[in-house]
Amino acid sequence: MQDFLRRAWAEIHLDRLGHNINEIAKLVNTDKTQLAGVVKANAYGHDDRNIVPFLEQHGFSFFAVSNIREAEKLRRFGCKGEILILGYTPPEYADELSENDIIQAVVSEEHAAALSENASRPLKVHIAIDTGMGRIGLLADDISSCADAFCRISKLNNIIADGAFTHYAVADSYDPDCKAYTDSQTEKFFTLRDELKKRAVAPRHFHCLNSAGGTFHYDERSTIARFGIMLYGLKPDRSLDMPFDMRPVMDLKASVSYVKKLPAGSFVSYGRTYRAEKDILAATIPIGYADGLSRQLSGKADIIINGRRAPIIGRICMDQLMADVTGIPDVKAGTEALIFGEEQTADDLAELCNTIGYEIVCGISKRIPRVIINNGEILDVVEYY
């Protein structure tokens, strides 16, 4: 077994990822729609260097990232699949993109023109279409004008208009108005596709599906389904009933460093926000907000020790937190504590601090080693420091 610092660590369970992949594949017609793995932000904090090869082993050949440095990192560790940058890259990197066979999102017609001016060789692009997200892309409210701009981009020197994509704003909601809004986004997008076909412009890819879109609004006209958060076993929105039992891929754990008896009336941590109403047994666990555990969870969340819930007491510190382990047997220095995972998910913690599971897992800092596990066997330990 590979050793690692058992202060605080994140276990990345590839067998759970495999389960999620198999379930996701049932949601789409893979003869029509190619599955793409969204691996930006270090695979949502799960370690892209290990996640991407596993996805490739399971048939993924298309990946999405947020920026050129993430894309180049994938190439450096041997990713052979297609890589799409979903966000902006400055035009002066046009040749760097083409040299590494990276597909660039075009965020505007001006962006496309600048990429063309800087490109000395052909560069593949996917043109972003704004159907209602209001973030990047050609505005699709006027289909004819949007198609005009698309055609102008497709004729630019050294620009290969390989695809077009849009992004849903509220596909993760059951609200009827939100469903209607998503439907309107889809209609705009494929009306544009049909208009381009009339003009003999037919990009290889036209894709609109994110995790929520692929799950609740699947449309086989989308040539790609970009699955992100659901690969990692979390919900696009924590209120959703999912069509399969997702398995959280990350377990965040830490070892108890100290256990002590505190008499009634004792205060715990900064600001004296917690005062023991009776004699308690308190455990100190060496993980805190510098590790990515939100300070907003102070006094709200539990951790799990020896199969029992232990409430966090007092404020979470930069490097430590305290929990009330009164009545939990066999808690001592070295006892393992689960912060989140299968028994208590990142989505559960997100609800307590009014955020989303994405932020919880993406926020786990690089001083937390990622311990890569498959069916109980440690395959790798990734130390970022």
The amino acid sitting at 275 is R
Q: How far apart are CA 345 and CA 324, in angstroms?
A: 20
Give the number of other CB atoms < 10 A from CB of residue 29: 10
> Are 299 and 313 a contacting pair, CB within 8 Å?
yes
> Are 306 and 381 a contacting pair, CB within 8 Å?
no
40 in catalytic set: yes
Helical pair 109-118 and 143-154, crossing angle rounded to 10 deg: 0
Tokens matching residue 320: 């430590």
From the list 40, 124, 188, 253, the catalytic residue is 40
270 in catalytic set: yes
From the list 260, 270, 332, 384, the catalytic residue is 270
Cβ contacts of 282 within 8 Å, gap of 6 or more: 259, 260, 261, 262, 268, 313, 322, 323, 324, 325
> Which helix (H) or strand (E) covers residue 96, if one does?
helix 94-99
Terminal Cα distance for the chain, rounded = 20
The amino acid sitting at 161 is A
Residues marked active site are found at 40, 270
